[in-house]
Structure 1
Amino acid sequence: MRAFFFDLDGTLIESKGIISELINETLMEFGYAPFTEDEMLASIGILLEGLFSLKADKEIVPKMCQCYVDKYLKTGLQKMKTYEGVVELLRELKDDKIKMGIVTTKSEEEAKQVTEHFGFSPYVDIIVGHSGKRKGKRVTYLAGNSYSR
Structure 2
Amino acid sequence: MATIVFDLDGTLIDSAPDIHAASNAVLAEAGFDPLTFDEVRSFVGKGVPHLVGCLLEARGQPREGELFDRLYADFTARYHTAVTLTQPYLGVMDALEMLRTRGHVLGVCTNKPVAPARAVLDHLGMSDYFGAVLGGDSLPVRKPDPEPLLATFAALGGGQPVFVGDSEVDAQTAEAARIPFALYTGGYRKTPVTEMHHDALFDDFDALPELVEWLAWL
Q: Is the 8 A contact 2:112 2:136 kept in 1?
A: yes
Match of residue 113 from structure 2: 107
1:27 Cα shift? Answer: 2.1
The Cα offsets for residues 77-134 of structure 1, whole Å up to 9 and x where unpaired, read as 1122222221221111111111111111122222222211111111101101122763
Q: Which residue of 2 aligns with 1:44?
A: 44
Question: Partner amino acid for 1:104?
Answer: T
> In structure 1, what is the Cα distance between the partners aligned to 2:100 and 2:69?
37
Alignment partners' CA distance in 2, 1:20 and 1:38: 9
Structure 1 residue 73 corresponds to structure 2 residue 80: yes
3-state DSSP class of the match of 1:70? helix
- 2:144 aligned with 1:140: yes
Larger helix share, 1 or 2: 1
Letter in 2 for 1:99: V
Partner of 1:126: 132
Deviations along 1:6-54, one digit per CA (max 9) or x if unpaired, are 1222221122333223213212312345445665354332221133234
| 2:66 corresponding residue in structure 1 | 59
Amino acid at match of 1:111: A
Partners of 1:97 and 1:24 in 2: how far apart? 42
Higher RCO (CA < 8 A, seq sep 6+):
1
Structure 1 gaps, min length 5: none
Q: Secondary structure at the match of 2:21?
A: helix
CA gap of 1:93–1:132, structure 2 versus 1, over 3 A, is: closer
Count of aligned pairs between the two proteins: 146
Q: Secondary structure at the match of 1:77?
A: coil
User: 2:40 and 2:48 mapped to 1: Cα distance?
Assistant: 12
Q: C-alpha distance in 2, partners of 1:43/1:123?
A: 28
Structure 1 Cα separation of the partners of residues 132 and 114 of structure 2: 10
Distance 1:7 1:13 in 2: 9
Identity of aligned residues (%): 27
Q: 1:78 is paired with a residue of what secondary structure?
A: coil
Is the CA contact 2:110–2:136 (under 8 Å) kept in the aligned structure 1?
Answer: yes
**How large is the Cα RMSD of the aligned pairs?**
2.7
* Distance across 2 between alignment mates of 1:39 and 1:11: 19
1:5 aligned partner, one-letter code: V
